[in-house]
Amino acid sequence: MISIQVCVGSSCHLKGAHDVVQAFKREISSRKLDQEVFLTGAFCLGRCIDGVSIKIDDELILGVTPESVPEIFLNRVVSVLGG
């Protein structure tokens, strides 16, 4: 199980955190990984200026946009799960 936390603090919210969440949801459902990926929101991850901030397991990733989600998902989730 891999956990993805998307910061939904106010700064990241303004930078489009909701769209980032939707982009991850699309990746998870199109690859049928609902049982293997746990997507959740997080409170401010402390890097507001560099948002949208996310955490995949314990790794902090900054400056995430909906456009960058597919590549992040492929490299940090799908490849780790052996897909």
Residues found near ligand FES in the complex (CB under 6 A): 7, 9-12, 44-48, 51, 53
- Cβ at position 83, least distance to ligand FES in Å: 28
Q: How far is the CB of 82 from ligand FES (least distance, A)?
A: 30
> Cβ of residue 54: shortest distance to ligand FES, in angstroms?
9
Hey, what amino acid is at 62?
L
Residues facing residue 40 across a β-bridge: 5
Residue 8 CA to residue 33 CA, distance in Å, equals: 22
**Nearest residue to the partner ligand FES, using Cβ:** 9
Is the CA virtual torsion 76, 77, 80, 82 positive or negative?
Answer: negative
